[in-house]
């Protein structure tokens, strides 16, 4: 598919202007006026920093009585267990500080070095600390939990809040992306598998793409903030941040709905960018593994995501709002952007050559173990998707023309053959 083109941008005097808010369709001269659209905020909504290391033995005593308040690193924390879906066994949470520490990876033994820590940071903590200070705080907590500590990459969510625009009713039909998977979660009103998207109650939330890759979410931020009792906080942010419409103290209108466009990057995707993106001056890979080191590249990440998900006005042309959000939004952080100094590319680890053979051998052995332990195909498939090596397995079979649904059926068929020919636990 050819890369879509943008409408021509004009200023209010109908002169061509790269920052204009009048958009003209070159094909039929139709004019779209976006002068009433107000960009309230563009920033980092979520940070997740992962670490590898060896758990300090004394730390696990904090969880002897789950649900209690404990002392850790000079602060008071709520200690508890978390669901297995998170990939971790325990958590320390301090909502006032804005940190959740997920501890002890389910897939690694406590006595071994492994990916035993994930630190999640809330928006108000990100807003109150510079990237360097936030990274130092996360590294400090990691040193209190692990020995032989090593950063294991970060994940980020980038969010843009705006008023004066409402998602069109046919947004799902006009949103184009290459996402391989969609997730069906209770509460979905409509799900369209062809476009790998889901629409939630009353069309107030749209999701495209996979949580394990790059995901786009568009949702009613006003309603979400009310539901989580965070509206006062966000109204303060929207009134304070006038970087897009300087000189307009009334940029935020509390009578209008705020919509959020959010790009969510899994840590594996950040690693692909860190390995594949290069400095245009030196030719070196950016090669980062921390949130603080990656922050100068967040503008590049925003633009990349807005090109991967394409809201089209008609075939071959971007919807003007998508051009505006892609080109005019800049992530609000106290760092110099390296957008113009970096060639952003993802370095995909392929499953060709010896790794392809390893994938085939692994799947055969995996099925044998499922049969031996009397684990069903569906449960086994979900466990497979939770594994860190899942992307290379998925990509190997995708290269052979098999999507995730096809791979599940393939696993189910060979598991059934294993049961029939050799028995379930032999």
- How far apart are alpha carbons 14 and 34 in whole angstroms? 13
Q: Do 70 and 76 meet the contact criterion of CB atoms below 8 Å apart?
A: yes
- How far apart are alpha carbons 411 and 414 in whole angstroms? 5
Q: How far is CA 386 from CA 106, 181, 212, 246, in A?
A: 11, 14, 9, 45
The pLDDT value recorded for residue 289 is 95
For the CA atoms of 222, 228, 233, 238, the dihedral, rounded to the nearest 10 degrees, stands at -20
Secondary element (H or E) of residue 389 = none
DSSP string, 184-253: --TTEEEEEGGGTEEEEGGG-EEEEE-TTSEEEEEEEHHHHHHHTT-HHHHHHHHHH--SSSTT-TT---
CB neighbourhood size of 167 (10 A): 20
The pLDDT value recorded for residue 360 is 84
- How far apart are alpha carbons 13 and 9 in whole angstroms? 11
Secondary structure letter of residue 5 according to DSSP: B
DSSP string, 295-343: GGGHHHHHHHHHHHSEEEEETTEE-HHHHHHHHH-----SS---GGGEE
Q: Do 8 and 320 meet the contact criterion of CB atoms below 8 Å apart?
A: no
Give which of 195, 204, 201 is closest to 175, Cα–Cα: 195
Profile the chain (426 residues) by mean pLDDT over runs of 10 residues: 89 94 94 96 96 94 94 96 89 96 91 94 96 98 96 96 95 82 39 44 78 92 94 94 53 94 96 93 93 96 95 95 96 93 83 66 88 87 85 80 85 86 60
Angle at 162 between CA 30 and CA 197, to 5 degrees: 80
- How far apart are alpha carbons 192 and 368 in whole angstroms? 35
First-to-final CA distance of the chain:
51
- Output the six-digit token pair for 403: 């999507």
Q: By CB neighbour count within 10 A (0-12 exposed, 13-18 middle, 19+ buried), where does 231 fall?
A: middle
- Output the six-digit token pair for 406: 């096809």
Q: Do 244 and 328 meet the contact criterion of CB atoms below 8 Å apart?
A: yes
The pLDDT value recorded for residue 423 is 64
- Output the six-digit token pair for 266: 């899994």
């Amino acid at each position: 598919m050819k890369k879509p083109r943008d409408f021509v941008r004009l200023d209010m005097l109908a002169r061509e202007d790269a920052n204009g808010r009048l958009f003209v369709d070159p094909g039929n001269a139709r004019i779209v006026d976006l002068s009433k659209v107000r960009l309230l905020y563009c920033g980092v909504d979520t940070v997740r920093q992962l670490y590898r290391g060896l758990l300090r033995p004394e730390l696990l005593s904090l969880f002897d009585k789950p649900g209690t308040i404990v002392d850790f690193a000079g602060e008071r924390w709520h200690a508890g267990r978390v669901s297995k879906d998170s990939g971790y066994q325990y958590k320390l949470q301090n909502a006032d500080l804005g940190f959740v520490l997920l501890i002890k990876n389910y897939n690694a033994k406590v006595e071994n070095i492994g990916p035993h820590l994930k630190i999640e940071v809330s928006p108000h903590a990100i807003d109150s600390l510079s990237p360097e200070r936030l990274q130092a705080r996360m590294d400090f907590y990691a040193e209190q939990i692990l020995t032989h500590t090593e950063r294991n990459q970060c994940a980020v969510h980038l969010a843009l809040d705006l008023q004066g625009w409402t998602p069109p009713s046919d947004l799902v039909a006009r949103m184009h992306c290459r996402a391989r998977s969609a997730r069906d979660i209770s509460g979905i009103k409509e799900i369209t598998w062809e476009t790998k998207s889901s629409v939630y109650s009353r069309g107030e939330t749209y999701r495209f793409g996979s949580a394990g890759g790059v995901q786009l979410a568009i949702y009613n931020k006003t309603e979400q903030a009310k539901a989580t009792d965070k509206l006062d906080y966000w109204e303060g942010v929207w009134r304070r941040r006038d970087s897009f419409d300087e000189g307009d103290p009334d940029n935020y209108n509390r009578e209008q709905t705020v919509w959020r466009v959010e790009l969510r990057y899994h840590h594996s995707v950040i690693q692909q960018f860190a390995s594949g993106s290069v400095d245009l001056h030196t030719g070196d890979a950016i090669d980062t593994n921390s949130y603080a080191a990656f922050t100068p590249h967040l503008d590049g990440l925003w633009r990349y995501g807005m090109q991967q998900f394409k809201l089209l006005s008609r075939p071959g042309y971007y919807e003007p709002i998508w051009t505006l959000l892609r080109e005019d939004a800049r992530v609000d952080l106290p760092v110099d952007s390296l957008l113009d100094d970096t060639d952003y590319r993802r370095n995909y680890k392929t499953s060709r050559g010896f790794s392809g053979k390893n994938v085939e051998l692994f799947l055969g052995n995996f099925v044998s173990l499922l049969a031996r332990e009397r684990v069903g195909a569906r449960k086994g498939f979900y466990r497979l998707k939770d594994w860190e090596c899942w992307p290379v397995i998925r990509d190997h079979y995708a290269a052979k023309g098999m999507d995730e649904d096809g791979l599940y059926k393939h696993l189910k068929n060979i598991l059934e053959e294993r049961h029939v020919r050799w028995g379930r636990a032999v």
